[in-house]
Chains A and B, each alone.
Chain A
Amino acid sequence: MSMPDADADDLIRPIRKPTRAYFLVAALAGIASVVFVAAYILQLSQGMEVTGLSDWGSGGGSTWGLYIGTFIWWVGIAHGGIVISAAVRLLKLEKYEPVARIAELLTIGALSMAGLMIVVHLGRPDRVVWSVVQAYPTTVHTSPLAWDLTVITLYFVLTATYLSLTLRSDVYRLRDKLPDILDPLYSLLLFRYDTDEDPVVERMAWWLALAIIVLAPLLLHGGVIPWLFQLTPSMPGWYGGLTSPTFLSAALSSAMGGVIVVCFVFRKVYTNWDKVIPDDVIWGLGWWMGIFALIFIWLQLQRMITGLYAPPLDVETVMTATAEFWLYWVAMLLMFLPLAYVAFQHFGILKFSERGMLVAAIAVVLGILVEKTLFTVEGLLYPATQLYENTPGNYFPTWIEMSSVLGTTGLIILFFLLVSKLIPIVELKSVEHGGHGEEEAVADGGVETETCAEGAQEGGD
């Protein structure tokens, strides 16, 4: 029953038709979010002692834990937007145009969740704005955490600008198909819109993409986020220049994974969306996910071999502890198996499968969450000073902390559910000029193998 090609009607289908699945997903995501909010209220009223965290030192525990791990995780996933926008705008990989806006929305959502995780992590969230602002002129010179807040805010603003700029012409052209009830929103979006601005916007978008690509990978997960850790010489598990590249590869692989998951859902839920987002886009995303996972694993190998072969004693302690902890190897497997899966597809041993790619993507996303949390905690449990070796303590996240992972995931889902009802989440022009090749593929009757080979070729370039 699928139509030969995707068109504008397909794009706005999510806006028009709330399905049963929609409400079901909304309900589940809502529950997760509510549990998270409840847990947070409990934490606010009783203090941070409801977490498994405690003072490192004579307290024996880890003062940063799952909250920080989840923070790193969300910032990493937020890298998807920039990678894909850059591919589309700067590298002219128009194939990825259909997922560009989804990725940007994911960036906006994930950055918000990262910000939320910081707030949840704080002992005194009520003060955060004023305290940060009043000291900012000084702290921006010295505090990696101030740098983090700066870069994350910048990234958020740039992405939001980019998104709204590119959204205007789409909304304008689809205006009559969009629901009247949302009129005020669209009027706001189209404030002073003029069709003449399109070429200007196109150029601005190019520059914005360039700015973001310099900012995000080089400064965010390749910079200020790992700097929170790697600039601490007294924590041998963190210290060292390898931390940044490891973080960046983790970010990019999980970002690709995140985009795959979102695309999969939209393709499944809405009729004809497997034409809006064709197989070879999913394949291409998966291919890049594999590449980044490979780099990640390779960097882990460097970290391990350096930390275990002939390390200083303090490095040896933390690296041995990490190497002996089964959870670390679970994380590595969660990265390695998807890599192998993608490689097998590439070599033609396995056929491309949408579901297979979804599972691989989820594995990568989870693998990074586990690894980043472990990285944070192991670093703090094995500081350079061994003074506290016989003061007991431990860290294991409580359900309150764990609810933050589910809760933020739920919030992101709600965010997508909401946004997909308000604006077209795929750029109009991707169905306008992207349809042709698709038609041929369908005509050949060999979408699966065809696109797979195509994707492989593209990846090999």
Chain B
Amino acid sequence: MSTITAAERVAIARHPQRPNVCDFIDGLFTDFFECKGDRLCGEDAAILGGVARFHGQSVTVIGTRKGKTLEENLKCNFGMPNPEGYRKALRLMRQAEKFRRPVITLIDTSGAYPGLEAEARGQGEAIARNLMEMSRLTVPVVAIITGEGNSGGALALGVANRVLMLENAVYAILSPEGFASILWKDASRSAEACEMMKLTAPDLMHLGVIDDIIPEPEGGAHTAPLQAIRQVDRALRRHLSSLSKESGAALAADRYQKFRKMGAAASQKEEL
């Protein structure tokens, strides 16, 4: 698998048969109960959330949802959340905090929806609020990037104690097509962008942005979905069990330090 190019990984990450959030929830949890609505004005199907059991422990699960059929795609806005989706996610995270259960997020989105209504209802504010509130949760938070994790729309579910990535998942500031069109005004140069963007799991592990890579079956998770889900189960169990030994204050402090270090040049701090 090491010879696989970044552009090939992007294609695998977007494969239509790749296990999606519903497959992961079915395979990883029992007794899933879906919770809907942001309690402010709406329900956004692009984010799926609820309570479930993971090996006997109650957990809050939140994931982006694309749907597999065209009808589902349209209902889920192709996995691009509106502010209501992020606000629902925040509501469920606050509930997790209240009931002292871990938060598990499953991320697969091309980004937050860039629509007129989304802007009118504060897409930027919704994402910012999630980043702030996630950073101070005192329960374990594990984020798993299962497919494509793009932009602030992915990060809004990604401020976790442990950020895990499937082997062929990608995580980036925006899509390679968007990157190429902004930087070179030419979306067709996306394959070139893929290599430069450092969006693969090994690259991100090297940069310290993620904490673990979950192996996929040869050829990608879609070739043997159950096997892929078993690997996710194993990784999730391992990380949750090590996090559950920490106090709430330690979990919040560790999460802070983890993101605090990102992009900080060593020994440049200077105070007056």
* A and B co-occur in one complex: no
Question: Which residues from chain B sit less than 8 Å from chain A, CB to CB?
Answer: none
Question: Which residues from chain A sit less than 8 Å from chain B, CB to CB?
Answer: none
